[in-house]
Amino acid sequence: MDPNRIGLVGYGEVGKIFTSGLKARVQRMGAWDLKFTQAASRETELAHAKGAGVTPHGSMRELCEASDLIISAVTASNTLAVAEEAARFILPGTLFLDLNSASPGTKQQAAAAISAAGASYVEAGVMTSVPPYGIKVPMLLGGPYAMELATLLQSWDMDAKAVSDSFGVASAIKMCRSVMIKGLEALVIESYTTARAYGVEDHVLPTLQETFPSIDWQKQGAYFFSRVVQHGKRRAEEMREAANTVREAGFEPLMSRAIADKQQWVADCAREGVFAGIEKGATWQNYADRLLAARKR
């Protein structure tokens, strides 16, 4: 296994980080994104890719024909659609690494599409936020080729670990963790904003600090607010996949659905400009005050 040409599907935050980190490891780095064809984003995105030393491809077919390893880094809701489109053009023997946050069932369907085309599908559960780690973000890999690919990625100084030769295990680990992490984000936003509305945050947060002294609840709250404001839409999609994961296990996803709704609500507020002008490093109170002001309007 020695891929020299990597193609990224999805030139968003994660795609840009991975292309930047991996381009020195291979002979050729390419990317394909629908934004390359849309009038509102085409010029900016193409300029960014070219400036970063990344070849922007004009279609999925073009990317597949030019890649030994394809990495899918799109939104959760597009996981299966991207795999099915890639399966139409992917060359036999190509590796397909699926980074997306999707349910075990979705990953299994994606694997079936890629495998039917004669390519090698590997699922990945990306276990934390990518930006602080870059390509060294911890990843769990699954599928018959997981061990082989993990060895290659480790040689590229990446934190990849094979956990199963079956599809769905790595994603189940990721999705169960997401219920907790994204759920904690949603709980903090709801609890803190409500406490702020009643003027009791100076009583509530010290009790959290006493119960969980290892967490800086002021700092953690600010981080949770900022990440959900920035990525709430993507998080909501991930939580819908988490709900599918719970449902596939035979349970009603009561909590996962509620978490998705809360994440989506914050994303909708951000889209409407509720948080416009809030600077990096703002406190959680800055975000909560904007929500309170929007409520009063």
Is the pLDDT reported for residue 296 higher than 80?
no
Average pLDDT over residues 65-90: 97
Is the pLDDT reported for residue 2 higher than 90?
no
Is the pLDDT reported for residue 297 higher than 70?
no
Number of Cβ within 10 Å of residue 40's Cβ equals 8
pTM (two decimals): 0.91
Instruction: Report d(CA 14, CA 258) in Å as an integer.
Output: 26
Average pLDDT over residues 226-231: 95
Contact between 32 and 60 (Cβ < 8 Å) = yes
Q: What is the pLDDT of residue 288?
A: 98
Nearest one of 14, 10, 25 to 133, comparing CA atoms = 14
> What is the 3-state secondary structure of 4-58?
CEEEEECCCHHHHHHHHHHHHHCCEEEEECHHHCCCCCHHHHHHHHHHCCCEECC
Q: Decide: residue 213, CB within 10 A, 0-12 exposed, 13-18 middle, 19+ buried.
A: exposed
What's the pLDDT tens digit per position in 153-208?
999 999 999 999 999 999 999 999 999 999 999 999 999 999 999 999 999 999 99
What's the pLDDT tens digit per position in 243-276?
999 999 999 999 999 999 999 999 999 999 999 9
Residue 161 bridge partners (DSSP): 140
* pLDDT over 90, % of the chain: 97
Average pLDDT over residues 112-133: 96
Nearest one of 107, 115, 94, 263 to 175, comparing CA atoms = 107
What's the pLDDT tens digit per position in 48-74?
999 999 999 999 999 999 999 999 999
Which domains can be identified in the chain, with CATH numbers? Answer: 5-166 (3.40.50.720), 171-296 (1.10.1040.10)
Q: What is the pLDDT of residue 1?
A: 67
Instruction: Decide: helix, strand or coil at residue 163.
Output: strand
Q: What are phi and psi of 221, to 5 degrees?
A: -60, -45
What's the pLDDT tens digit per position in 10-43?
999 999 999 999 999 999 999 999 999 999 999 9
Nearest one of 229, 240, 236 to 271, comparing CA atoms = 229
Within a 13 Å sphere around the CA of 171, how many CA atoms are in the beta-carbon half?
Answer: 33
Nearest one of 64, 83, 59 to 73, comparing CA atoms = 83
